């Protein structure tokens, strides 16, 4: 089946938000199941604001958002039940261990206890956290907290995942584990949208890339399409710098 014949994982139309100035303006975006979408842009481009609106954490001034056909504004609970959001700063209950935290999150999502335990063990093992499963999270490094939060986001197998700078604070080994886990999630049919300032991550992971500047989507496509759009060859960094400089 062609991607355009599938039900979209995410549909955004005419999205706009202002805070005294326009932060996001007239944004249209469609992401399909099995796509890994990287939303890139310079600081202040509107990336985090866009993700927060899609996640239902911030109300847009205009526009509509649906996740697998569920309207995020009209049916927020239905939409949020099939997605997960990870902010750029990991938020944890520090007095809980990873196992306790995952059991708590699974309970919020209504995951059956036996399934939650099995899934928690799988995730903690995959992310290298199993030896620390009974330690309090308050003593963890930022990277360990980030991996614990990611495990919590995946505990209910969401069909749509939003990640804001998910690799910040991770060492090379942990970053590899996280990237491999995210690839597996997409290969299983889910969709992911992430922001990152590490262009190499986007170039290696993303099946499609959007470049945002001044709240507007400058370009959207795979890397060859972005090269054509920019009229330059070379790396994603070359394309990104050309497009954002031209738009400035």
**Domain range spanning residue 149?**
91-157
Q: What is the CATH number of the domain that holds 189?
A: 3.40.50.300
Whether the pLDDT of residue 1 is over 50: the answer is: no
State both tokens at 132: 């620390």
Q: State how far the Cα of 51 lies from the Cα of 54, in Å rounded to an integer.
A: 5
One domain for residues 226 and 114:
no
One domain for residues 44 and 16:
yes
Point out the domain boundary residue: 111, 126, 157. Answer: 157
One domain for residues 72 and 106:
no
One domain for residues 12 and 56:
yes
Point out the domain boundary residue: 157, 183, 198. Answer: 157
State both tokens at 112: 């059956």
**Residues sharing a CB contact under 8 Å with residue 239, sequence separation 6 or more, in sequence order:** 211, 223, 226, 227, 229, 230, 232
Cβ atoms of 106 and 88 closer than 8 Å: no
One domain for residues 165 and 216:
yes
27-75, pLDDT tens digit by residue?
Answer: 999 999 999 999 999 998 999 999 999 999 999 999 999 999 999 999 9
State both tokens at 212: 């945002």
> What is the mean predicted confidence (pLDDT) over 191-214?
94
Point out the domain boundary residue: 141, 157, 173. Answer: 157
pTM for this predicted structure: 0.93
pLDDT at residue 82, rounded to an integer: 95
Burial of 59 (0-12, 13-18, 19+ CB in 10 A): exposed
Q: In the chain, pLDDT over 90 holds for what percent of residues?
A: 91
Q: Domain count of the chain?
A: 2
91-113, pLDDT tens digit by residue?
Answer: 899 999 999 999 999 999 999 99
| Mean pLDDT of the residues in the chain | 94
State both tokens at 31: 């992401």
Whether the pLDDT of residue 88 is over 90: the answer is: no
One domain for residues 183 and 196:
yes
pLDDT at residue 3, rounded to an integer: 54
One domain for residues 243 and 163:
yes
One domain for residues 209 and 232:
yes
């Amino acid at each position: 089946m062609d991607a355009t014949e599938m039900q979209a994982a995410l549909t955004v139309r005419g999205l706009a938000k202002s805070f005294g100035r326009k932060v996001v303006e007239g944004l249209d975006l469609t992401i399909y199941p099995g796509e890994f979408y990287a939303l890139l842009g310079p600081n202040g481009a509107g990336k985090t604001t866009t993700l927060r609106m899609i996640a239902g954490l911030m109300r847009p001034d205009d526009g509509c958002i649906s996740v697998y056909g569920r309207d995020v504004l009209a049916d927020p609970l239905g939409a949020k039940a099939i997605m997960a959001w990870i902010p750029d700063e990991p938020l944890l209950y520090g007095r809980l261990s990873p196992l306790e935290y995952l059991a708590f999150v699974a309970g919020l999502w209504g995951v059956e206890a036996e399934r939650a335990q099995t899934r928690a063990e799988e995730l903690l093992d995959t992310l290298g956290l199993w030896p620390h499963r009974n330690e309090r999270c308050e003593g963890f490094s930022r990277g360990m907290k980030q991996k614990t939060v990611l495990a919590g986001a995946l505990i209910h197998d969401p069909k749509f995942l939003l990640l804001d700078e998910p690799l910040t604070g991770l060492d090379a080994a942990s970053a590899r584990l996280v990237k491999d886990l995210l690839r597996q999630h997409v290969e299983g049919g889910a969709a992911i949208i992430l922001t990152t300032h590490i262009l190499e991550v986007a170039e290696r992971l993303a099946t499609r890339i959007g470049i945002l500047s001044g709240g507007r989507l400058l370009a959207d496509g795979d890397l060859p399409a972005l090269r054509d759009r920019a009229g330059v060859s070379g790396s994603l960094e070359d394309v990104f710098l050309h497009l954002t400089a031209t738009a400035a």
